[in-house]
Amino acid sequence: MIIVGVDGSASARAAVEWAVNDAFRMRLPLRIVHAVDRDSYQIGRYPLPDAPDRLLRDGDRVLGEAEVLARERQPTVEVETHNIEGRPAVVLREQAKDATELVVGSRGLGGFAGALLGSVSMHVAGHVHCPVVVVHGDLRPVHGEVVAGVDDSAECEPALAYAFEQAKLRGSALRVVHAWQLPVHAFAPEAAVDMDEVRTAQHQLVRDRVAALSKDYPEVRVIEEALSAHPVDALTDASERADLLVVGSHGRGALSSMLLGSVSRGVLHHARCTVAVVRA
């Protein structure tokens, strides 16, 4: 099942469109979720007595509009709606436990609103194990390309597999990007670095990553890139011509903000297209 969080914003509307199209491609049901967060209405000294009922009514309205949109876009997809009480991040994490994919808008009005890094990356992508797709609300042309960021760690393999599957489902090309930087000690006067050898090794890394999966996706055209650049810069540039950018998450810290990984956080802030974060 695919889960999408909604709050009535333009970004959430874009998330519903993305989610129902993915549900159609994957032949999965879609669950549309709205979080009824009462806490923000109980801070004042004199809370409004009708606030709880109003919140539920608002949530039902938002869900109704999202359901109509989903059924208009893909009439054959099975759709259900849930108005759930709780903090948005907690609701999403609970809903995502058995989900194939979780989709949210990058910015919203309330239920799933807030800074992109705080409400989505830190509290959702850093804690759930299914792919988390963050959709921007602005309209962009279709480029017919999926971009995947890879590195030399095993943690990037699930993200690359997800990118291959998305490219296959969409009939898109797949651009595999590996950005590398020399370590600081390589610039020491006594250090001898063969740059041609380094470049060859980086390109071989990309070829090896692609070869491990491409045999299962013969219909996907793959473009391989190994660039000397910061990963966030390279992936942000690639996102200009992409419909979807897929990154893994290598965070290992005890703090929730560190569970996402610095590259994933940077890409979510700066990418021009929809971003999927896939945890290992």
Q: For residue 11, is pLDDT > 50? A: yes
* Mean pLDDT value of segment 10-20: 93
- Ordered by where they begin, the domains of the chain are 2-135 (3.40.50.620), 145-279 (3.40.50.12370)
- Could you tell me the two tokens for 219? 């219909």
Q: How far is CA 43 from CA 34, 38, 46, 218, in A?
A: 21, 9, 8, 57
Gap between the Cα atoms of 124 and 122, Å rounded: 6
Tokens of 63: 């869900």
Q: Which residue has the tokens 């914003």?
A: 9
Instruction: Classify the C-alpha dihedral 169-172-173-178 as positive or negative.
Output: negative
The confidence score (pLDDT) of residue 142 equals: 92
pLDDT in tens, 88-101: 888 998 999 989 99
**Stretch 53-65: mean pLDDT:** 90
Q: Give pLDDT, residue 256.
A: 40
Band the pLDDT of 50: cuts 50, 70, 90: low
Q: What are phi and psi of 192, to 5 degrees?
A: -105, 115
Q: Which of 20-24, 72-76, 230-234 has the lowest mean pLDDT?
A: 230-234
Residues above pLDDT 70, as percent of the chain:
79
Determine contact, residues 131/180, Cβ cutoff 8 Å: no
Which carries the bigger pLDDT value, residue 87 or residue 18? 18
Residue 196 has pLDDT above 90, yes or no: no
Question: Does 165 have pLDDT greater than 90?
Answer: yes
What is the average pLDDT score of the chain? Answer: 82
State what percent of residues in the chain have pLDDT above 90.
45
Residue 105 Cα to chain centre, angstroms: 10
In this prediction, residue 259 has a pLDDT band, given cuts at 50, 70 and 90, of very low
For the segment 173-186, the average pLDDT, to the nearest whole number, is 75
The pTM of the full predicted model, rounded to 2 decimals, is 0.84
pLDDT higher than 90, residue 188: no
Split at pLDDT 50, 70, 90, the class of 17 is: very high
| Residue 38, token pair as written in the block | 């009462």
DSSP string, the chain: -EEEE--SSHHHHHHHHHHHHHHHHHT--EEEEEEE--GGGSSSSS--TTHHHHHHHHHHHHHHHHHHHHHHH-TTS-EEEEEEES-HHHHHHHHGGG-SEEEEESS-SSTT-S-IIIIIIIIIITT-SS-EEEE-SS------EEEEE--SSGGGHHHHHHHHHHHHHHT-EEEEEEEE---GGGGSTT----HHHHHHHHHHHHHHHHHHHHTT-TTS-EEEEEEES-HHHHHHHHHTT-SEEEEEE----SSGGGSS-HHHHHHHHH-SSEEEEEE-
| Spatial separation of the C-alpha atoms in residues 214 and 5, rounded to whole Å | 33
More confident residue, 166 or 203: 166
What number is the average pLDDT over the span 231-249? 92
User: 207-230: per-residue pLDDT in tens?
Assistant: 888 888 889 999 999 998 888 888
